[in-house]
């Protein structure tokens, strides 16, 4: 249900700013997403305004009133400011034109609010509230479309997407954020023009994709990207999950499975104080990408079955490659690809059981991603076989119990050998070098296999290891001579 707007709906800061512009002889309107969100009963953290005042005139109106001012967008007619905790942008009416081969608009200042609204992406974002009168300006039927849950463009969809192809990505994001449906004309234009997304920078595509993945109904947004063909250019690995129809039904629909895993992973996120506060991009994107290695590893076996051997390793590499092309930061790339690589590690636990050593390695390999791995692994169960689902859930409950049990006795989150590098060098009388690393690795493996040993036992075992691995005098002389050369 949409909310009725009154002056009490807005913070006094908004009305005060509107009055300042009117008193100075200018128009000011709240515009775009903040207006849409008001009707949806949501609070927008950032406020966008438009005015017939030019940048110098905007600066004059807010002088002495704003807590802080910045002019980084001045060339595009935008002045930013902060007031009473609000981040505010005021932009001069614009009437932009575009070079068909470039996203960068030629900025021309406009003279009317209606013309300014016409250049905006979708009708539900092309509404304005004149201030301080609270008059709604909705020349393109944004309220009607918002009520109907339909995403439509103010102008011809083809022209809108030609001007700014990123709007197609934004359409998928609004589907995911608001649960709206694409108008047939919008969907048709996206299908026809999907290839134009190639002229948009990877960074801007990445930002829209991230917002889509972190939206309340991410599954719907991803499905739009795939169905209209945008994913062929943005996330081709996800498009490739739509394996050709298998008339014998020897494998499940990997694409739909991946969307379901994404949905289930998001449902397992926690509140702000929990282990994985949502929305968590790393968990969600790993859930979407966890099976992208399957198309490249699919094999039809003589028995009639289908196998995807090592699809976890292949998928991790494909995921990292795609994220690098989208200009994600290294930490995020490593976290997502590592989860993809580890998502199959659990399988087999229920049948064979694991030693304490295997549990330690599972926790150590996951490192800080353990809580996310718990959720990804649980989300990866989409079978309709209730008995199988219950068996897997029981097995993972047991594994988590084992992890917690061991954690009470040992510091699983930071397993280290009982002797550090300095102690190893002192005990063996050696200088820094490969031998120290080999000794450290040996002690770490012993620690993994048997748990804490204590310094005395670790020292005893290290001496035994050294007796077998200590270089001969001839080897030491050879190494010394090589170093001197």
Q: Per-residue pLDDT tens for 215-259?
A: 999 999 999 999 999 999 999 999 999 864 444 444 458 999 999
pLDDT of residue 143: 95
What are the φ/ψ torsions at residue 250 (nearest 5 degrees)?
-85, -10
- What's the full length of the chain, in residues? 485
422-447 average pLDDT score? 84
Instruction: Judge whether 1-146 and 149-234 match in fold.
Output: no
Answer whether 0.85 is exceeded by the pTM.
no
pLDDT of residue 19: 96
Contact (Cβ atoms closer than 8 angstroms) between residue 179 and residue 220: yes
413-437 average pLDDT score? 81
pLDDT of residue 245: 44
pLDDT of residue 440: 82
Domain definitions of the chain by residue range:
1-146, 149-234, 263-414, 421-484
Q: Mean pLDDT across the chain, nearest whole number?
A: 87
Q: Over 90: is that where the pLDDT of 81 sits?
A: yes
Question: What is the share, in percent, of the chain residues with pLDDT greater than 90?
Answer: 56
Right CATH for 1-146 from 3.40.50.150, 3.30.460.10, 3.40.50.12710, 3.30.360.10: 3.30.460.10
Comparison of pLDDT for 326 and 435, the residue scoring more: 326
pLDDT of residue 106: 63
Least confident of 226-230, 258-262, 388-392: 388-392
Q: Is CATH 3.30.200.20 correct for 149-234?
A: no
Q: Per-residue pLDDT tens for 37-52?
A: 999 888 777 899 999 9
């Amino acid at each position: 249900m949409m909310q009725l707007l009154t002056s009490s709906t807005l913070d006094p800061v908004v009305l005060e700013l509107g009055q300042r512009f009117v008193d100075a002889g200018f128009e000011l309107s709240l515009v775009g997403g903040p207006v849409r969100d008001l009707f949806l009963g949501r609070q927008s953290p950032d406020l966008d305004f438009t005015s017939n005042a030019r940048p110098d005139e905007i600066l004059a109106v807010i002088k002495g009133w704003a807590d802080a001012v910045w002019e980084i967008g001045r060339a595009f007619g935008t002045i930013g400011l902060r007031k009473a905790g609000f981040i505010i942008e005021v932009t001069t009416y614009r009437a932009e034109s575009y070079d068909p081969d470039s996203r960068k608009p030629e900025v021309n200042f406009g003279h009317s609010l209606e013309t300014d609204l016409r250049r905006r992406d979708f009708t539900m974002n092309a509404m304005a509230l004149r201030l301080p009168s609270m008059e709604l300006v909705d020349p393109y039927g944004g309220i009607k479309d918002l009520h109907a849950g339909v995403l439509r463009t103010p102008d011809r969809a083809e022209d809108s997407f030609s001007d700014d192809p990123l709007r197609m990505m934004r359409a998928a994001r609004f589907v995911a954020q608001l649960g709206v449906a694409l108008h047939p004309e919008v969907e048709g234009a996206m299908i026809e023009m999907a290839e134009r997304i190639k002229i948009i920078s990877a960074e801007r595509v990445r930002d829209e994709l991230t917002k889509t993945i972190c939206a309340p109904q991410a599954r719907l947004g991803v499905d739009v990207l795939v169905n209209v063909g945008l994913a062929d250019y943005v996330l081709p690995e996800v498009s490739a999950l739509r394996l050709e129809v298998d008339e014998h039904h020897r494998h499940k629909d990997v694409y739909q499975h991946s969307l379901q895993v994404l949905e289930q992973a998001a449902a397992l996120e926690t509140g702000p104080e929990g282990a994985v506060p949502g929305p968590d991009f790393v968990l969600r994107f790993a859930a979407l990408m966890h099976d992208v290695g399957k198309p490249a590893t699919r094999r039809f076996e003589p028995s009639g079955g289908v196998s995807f051997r090592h699809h976890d390793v292949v998928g991790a590499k494909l995921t990292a490659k795609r994220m690098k092309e989208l200009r994600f930061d290294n930490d995020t790339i490593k976290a997502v690809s590592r989860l993809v690589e580890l998502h199959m590690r659990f399988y087999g636990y229920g049948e064979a059981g694991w030693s304490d050593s295997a549990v330690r390695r599972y926790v150590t390999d996951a490192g800080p991603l353990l809580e996310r791995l718990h959720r990804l692994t649980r989300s990866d169960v989409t079978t309709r076989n209730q008995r199988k689902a219950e068996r897997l859930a029981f097995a993972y409950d047991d594994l988590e119990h084992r992890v917690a049990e061991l954690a009470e006795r040992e510091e699983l989150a930071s397993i280290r050998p009982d002797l550090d590098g300095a102690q190893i060098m002192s005990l063996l009388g050696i200088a820094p070098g490969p031998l120290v690393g080999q000794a450290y690795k040996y002690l770490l493996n012993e620690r993994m296999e048997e748990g804490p040993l204590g310094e005395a036992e670790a020292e005893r075992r290290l001496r035994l290891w050294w007796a077998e691995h200590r270089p001969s005098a001839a080897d030491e002389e050879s190494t010394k001579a090589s170093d001197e050369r």
